[in-house]
Structure 1
Amino acid sequence: MADVLCVSPSLQVLCVLMLFTWAHTQNVVVFQPSYLTAPGPVVSALLLGNTSGVSLSVRTVSPSNTTGSIGPPSCAAEVTQWVLTREQVGKTVERVQLSLERSLHLCGENETDPDCCSNPLCVLETLQVSACVGDTPQASLLIQAKIHALLVPANAGPDNKTTIPNPVYQPLGPCPCDLTFRACDVRCCCDKDCSNEDLTLFASHCLPGPFGGQVSPPPDYQCSVQSAENTPDWFPFLCVHSPPKNNPFLGLFYRGNVVKSKPGPTFQRPMLSAPALVNVYVEGSPILTLNDQYLTIPQKVFGQCVNNAPVAFLKNFQVECVTPLHTCPTEPPLQTLPEDLRIPVKNGEGGDVIVEVTDEVAIDPSQSISNTNGAASSESLMCENVTLALDYQFFWKENSITNITLTRTVGAVPLNGSVVLTTRYSAVFINGDFMSEPNSGNPGYQVGRPVIGGFMDILDNNTGSIQRTSINLWKSVSDGLCFTNEKKPVLFGENSTSGCLLPVSRQNLTQCDLLRETVASLQAALTTATYVARSGNPDPLTVTDWIDISFVMLNSSATVEDSTNSCYGIQSHQHIHVWSLITGTVEGRPQREIRALQVSMSTWSLDCVGGDDSPCVDPQETWLLPITSSVTFTDIPVNTEPPKTSFQINFTEYDCNRNDVCWPELAFPFTRYYTGEPYSQSLAKGLILVFFFVAASILGTPWRQVRQAWNTL
């Protein structure tokens, strides 16, 4: 069992579980893994099995000169330069750790400290850790220590911590294609580990786009582009100041409050530096309790429910776990106490918040019980206060947690033989009064991101807000039937067609109204939204960020009468048509906006005719009716230029598309071509600058010379 080869991470997890089960059943102890390589001063392994009464010893070993193998394990301990510690992490699991008790810096020329490393290869030895019961070894762990000395530069500062930039201003990964630590990734031209020789091999085949490290260069009118050598005299007055935080991918890397620009003069404004890094929560980081333990809620991992799964910041989930019961539960998570759930949790700002627990009693617990062996009788055992649901709500602001509420649903479960209990666990992150939702762009939609739908929700203060929901298509899985099929969201810019199958028999043709209602309810479940977001980061309180969805309903007066073998007016196809428009660019990337969305239905007639008449003869035999859905995206052509005059039509001197010199763009910031700020503001600033130039000319040297010449006449 201990010789199983575990290569991939998933196989390693499986091996640990198999070793744990084997060691527990055999009542022995084993090391996992049984062989380690220590490239650093700390190395650890797991000791599985019944560890009570087991002692650990460490010694230095060497292979035999004749056989080349290590001798049998021994319980005799030796004095080494390593410190052995053990920590209980489970009932039958211990973490064994070895730490090097010496310095790893390289000795200087005249240094006499015996604790330093005389050679670059500081430590090269083989260690054997033995787990013994008395004087009898039960298991052994071999560690090959190969540690090099630390090369510290002479001018190293006192603080060697890595500073992570604030994700509000720039992505955490400046080179997203750099996937291998201290190794050159092929076609990743921004990888700092690639030498000049490596870059020459694939310099012309770099990974495209920002995720390959190639960000579009800033335009020429940016104030940060011009250098001191080639800056013209007029450049400081006509350049555009755009902070680096204006990034179209900002909403895809960071979820939080929008940083709004403050109006004011931008000439010679200093660049804003990122705020100092603090110990706060970021998206995906585990939530910690006050004693530095993970806050755990039962979740599904690889399709299986895990009782102690960490909760990730800003990651919503809702799972259902199925547990067979033969006896009344006595341990969490099925048997919990409110005082055990009211635990302090770190809020991310140096403080803590207490989980507020509210108990609810299930009115009908039978909805969570299935597969009972017979009906519950008066003699059956009743399990009281069984936990049926744990619903967490995390209220957050920026990078911290402000409050946590927990609704615990309990009920009485009748135990007559054995039952199968279904429990629900969920976690929802709410920013203010709104649930955290991922954006689909900033601000324009990004191709491949979900189209954001919504519906009106009236709050307690009689104010309306739009809650997000998805606009879906059919997703064919398993047997392809509509009642078992899943749904997939509509992705922006991607046309798609999908469907499912509905079993229909001749008996259904006698109930056409019921058949039409069934098909209509299936199609209506795909699109429950009444609004669609214009951009990829809509505000739920701003109505102008949303557009009404147009539903094209059927004309009931045009329907044909049904017969005994046919049904008409069945909404078997739903089509979603989306019209989008490019409204501008941010850093050279087009920003797309949805201008209209229409949902239309196509009806079909279902007749019991054709070559195969067996379904028409046998009322119990069924055939499959296809129900389909599709989406089509249409780009609206953009024509923002004013209509051409007869002079522009006949002469091309002022046509910027057919001439190298574009006279209409001579005064670029004062024309409609400049979209960095509203036209009224740019025109006002331009007139102010013109006034200053005129005033300087009148009050300056040229006007003084004109007056002197005039007075001499």
Structure 2
Amino acid sequence: MANVGVNLISASISRQVTYVLLFISLVHAQDIVVFQPSFLTATGPTVTAFLLGNTSDVSLNLRTVSPSNTTGSVGSPSCVPEVTRWMLTKEQVEKTAVRVQLTRNQSLHACSDNDTNTDCCTKLLCVLETLQVTACVGNTPKASLLIQATIHARLFPAWTGYDNKTVIPNQVYQPLGPCPCDLTVRSCDIRCCCDKDCSSEDLKLFASYCLPGPFGGQVSPDPDYQCSVQSSKNSPDWFPFLCVTSPPENNPYLGFFYHGSTISPKSGPSFQRQTLSAPMPVNLYVQGRPIVTLNNQYFSIPQKVLGQCVNSAPVAFLKNFEVECVTLLHSCPTGFPLQTLPADLSVQVMNGQGGDVVVNVTDDIATDLNPFISEISAVSSTAHRLVCENVTLALDYKFFWQGNSITAITLTRTIGTLISDVSVAALTTRYSAVFLNGNFIAEPNSGNPGYQVGKPVIAGIMDNNSESMQRTSISIWKPVHDGLCSTAEKKVVLFGENSTSGCLLPVGQQIPTQCNLLREVVTNLQADLITSTYVAKRGNPDLLTLTDWMNISFVTLNSSTTVNDTASTCSGIPSHQDILVWSLITGLVEGVPQREIRDLQVSYSLSTWTWDCGGKSLCEEIQLFPITSSVTFIDIPVNAEPPKTSFQINFTEYDCSRNDVCWPELAFPITRYYTGEPYSQSLAKGMILVFFFIAASILGTPWRQIRQVWYSTAL
């Protein structure tokens, strides 16, 4: 029945939407106004209809009408207003559609016997009247809507309080809840046939829809294995020997092991939510765990999530990041994070040891705003001068840590005054977080223990003062913008990924006459890519253990090499840097190969640059020459083959891997190298073939001649 009702309601709504669309197209074409629908029956205090057509100069008038007893009509529409207990509102939803809503301004609860308030319903049929809504243009009616209101009073249970105590009966003889579906005290619950508050008239409404099972107050029927269930007619022969005899009172819904008593409940709602205790403070921070403030909230900084900037993203312990967010400014910003105060940023953060640290805020005023703001729309007549003071341009956090705790937090807030003469400007803000252990930046490992493909190669520089390794990286060129070396960036070398990149160096004027200076410039550019002298053998090196590091092999250029420099040619220029990395798989950890760097060598390739001067002694035009760098990873194979025997070494003509004809393969199916089937089966089949070969040879021509001689002698 419920599904049928839902389908009927859905079909009715669908037809109404269709009628509304048809009327919109009709009235738009004929320039008239109509109500859709034109007649309504209201059973609640709110009624909604639509006025369609040219509604620009239309006013609405509401009045109460009385249908004629003979004709049933209510008379012609009128534009004279009347006072009613209904409130009329309208809302423009489309160009040619207005939503009209009527709301009953009266309480609909039934009046009690001693109720002195007149704003209530004295009868069960609270409202019975006919309303007419008229659409008028001036004093001329254009359309009318009739509403037949038939609204009944709302009935509420007379008792809504709580007893001071609840008496629980003895559970030895009856269930704790004789009627589990009786949820409302002194009120009839729908479909709960065991509710004592339901009258006989109420039970007739849902007698055939009672809640089944124990939750509806109906104890489950006796199971089939009870001896009292099966009758003598349909019971099997073995039933009297295997049935179970148990009294009806013995069922799982009776509390045989609980003795009822009288308890006094606490004051307040029966379903009062239990007060939650405050969360326990963070004892220790581990890598990746969110940092928590003193009020048990995540410490957040604007970050990028799935490529989009999020103003409040939790900061993870020992996770460095640096992001840039672009915001289009139509007016001066007023909220976080573009407008901040030092008092709001100076928050208290749990240090992981039961205490707290306070963020120390330092302001830095930016004088050059070109890196932060760019104009994306030209100046027009509608553009206005935009002046925004104390805009937050960058938030740079530094977290000082030791062990599993945070010792201090500093914040450098960069602010500035933005001035723009365009209607729309793009503001680029920067947010970063760096974790420092002393003076060392906390960086994630590249494996545990061996290197993993795609992780950065870890390099280091020896610090003679502390006798520890300062962690760095190995880089190659990353050209951006125009591809020139002056604007090029550096790209960190990732383990297992071969790469080649470069940039362009502009050279001109009198440089060809100063080849030594040109070679020095190129050498310095290439040397800036690798400033470290050590490389980590594994992905989790210890900065204090020198055995985890190895020296980088630099192939020095031969200074004695003769160079043939001319007026338009410079030779011996180290234009290409080649990085070779040898790695070896040393084992497996949970099925993941663990790779270790065995050697890293850096070498240079010399080239000759020639200028096309057009026959001139000096080149005035600037020419571009490439400077490249590459990294190549070489896997050292693991020699898992057995050593060769002296026979394979001395008699190479019998070696199957060196000759086209291999005599040892004649018996291949019965050797250990054959893996098509188990060795025992291949050996048995091979012996059977040998047996048949011997039998065929014995029973062949020689034995046939012997049998012929034997038969001739016998005859």
Normalising by the smaller structure, the TM-score range is 0.3 to 0.5
Quick check: which has more Rg, 1 or 2?
Answer: 2
